[in-house]
Structure 1
Amino acid sequence: MVDKTRVIDLVNRDPNGLNSHLGTLLFNDVIGEPDGTHSIDFIFKLSNTCFECWKGLCYKLLTFYCGCCIAIEWGCEFAYIAFAHIWLITPCFKCCEINCGVFQRIYTTCINCCCTPCYESFGGIFHHFKR
C-alpha cells in the first residue's frame, strides 16, 4: 500500500535530479561577448541582472497561470497510463502467455514425436565412432 502521508520537500524540489541540467542555466551560459567585442561594463552587468530577474519572474508567472492546469493534465495522463496497464496491457500479456503456453506444449509434443526418435537413432549410430 502507498504511504499517503508523504510530505512535499519545499527545499529540494528535484530530489531525483530530473531537471538538474536546468538549475545551472546562468546568463554566461546564454550570452557571451568575445574578446574585442565588449559592451559597456554597466550595460553588461545590467543585462545580467535583467536576464536573471526576468527569467525568474517569467518562470513564476508561467507556473502561477499554467502550472496547476499542466499538473492536472499530467496527472490525468499518468492515471490513464496506469489504467491502461492494469486493465488492458497486463491482461493482454497474460492472455498471450496462456495461449503461447498451449502452443509451446503442442510444439514440444511434435518435436518429441517427430524429431527426437530420428536424433536418437542418429546418435546411436554415431555413438560408436571414436577418434
Structure 2
Amino acid sequence: MDVDLVNRDPNGLNEHLKVQFEDVLAEPEGAHSIDCVWKLSATCFNLWLGLCYKLLTLFYGICIAAEWGCEFASIAFYHVWYITPILRMCEINCAVFTKVTKTCMGCCMEPCCEACGALFHHFKK
C-alpha cells in the first residue's frame, strides 16, 4: 500500500482544523501592533506549531496509530465473528415469525375482512 505523502487528508476528515496564523489570530482595524511584531508573531506561531506537532507525532504518533489499528481490528473482528452472525440468526428467526403471523392473520382476519368487503360492495351511490 502506497501512502500519499503530499495529500495526507484525501477524504477531508480534518477540514475543521484550521491552524493557519490568519485563522487563529487577527487584529481589527484600529488595533494594530507594530509590523515587525506582527511578522515575528506569525513566524513564531508557524515555527512552534510545526515543531510541537512534529515532536508530538514523533513521540506519540506511532503508538496512537498502533492503538487505533487494534481498535478497528477489534471492531472488524466483532462484526465478522459476532454481530453479523447474530443479525443473520435474527433475520432467519424473524422470517419464521413473519410466516406464522401472516398465516394466523390470513386465517383469523381475512374471512372477516372479506365479509365486510362483500357487505359494503353492494352499497352504491
Instruction: Quickly name the TM-score band, shorter chain normalised.
Output: over 0.9
1:66, CA displacement in angstroms?
Answer: 0.5
Query: How far apart, CA to CA, are the structure 2 residues paired with 1:26 and 1:49?
Result: 11
Q: TM-score of the superposition, structure 2-length normalised?
A: 0.93
Task: Decide which of 7, 22, 31 is 1:12's aligned counterpart.
Answer: 7
Partner of 1:64: 58
Q: How many residues are aligned here?
A: 125
Query: How far apart, CA to CA, are the structure 2 residues paired with 1:8 and 1:86?
Result: 27
Query: How far apart, CA to CA, are the structure 2 residues paired with 1:87 and 1:107?
Result: 31
Query: How far apart, CA to CA, are the structure 2 residues paired with 1:20 and 1:126?
Result: 63
Query: How far apart, CA to CA, are the structure 2 residues paired with 1:21 and 1:105?
Result: 50
1:21, CA displacement in angstroms?
Answer: 3.2
Query: How far apart, CA to CA, are the structure 1 residues paired with 2:30 and 2:8?
Result: 41
Query: How far apart, CA to CA, are the structure 1 residues paired with 2:96 and 2:35?
Result: 78
Task: Decide which of 71, 74, 79 is 2:68's aligned counterpart.
Answer: 74
1:61-100 CA deviation, whole Å, 9 max, x = no partner? 1111100000001000000110111111111111111111
Partner of 1:119: 113
SS of residue matched to 2:68: helix
Q: TM-score of the superposition, structure 1-length normalised?
A: 0.89
1:36, CA displacement in angstroms?
Answer: 2.6
1:40, CA displacement in angstroms?
Answer: 1.8
1:37, CA displacement in angstroms?
Answer: 2.2
RMSD of equivalent CA atoms: 1.2
Structure 1 runs of 4+ with >4 Å offset: none
Q: Please, which runs of 5 or more residues in structure 2 have no aligned partner?
A: none
Partner letter of residue 13 of structure 1?
R
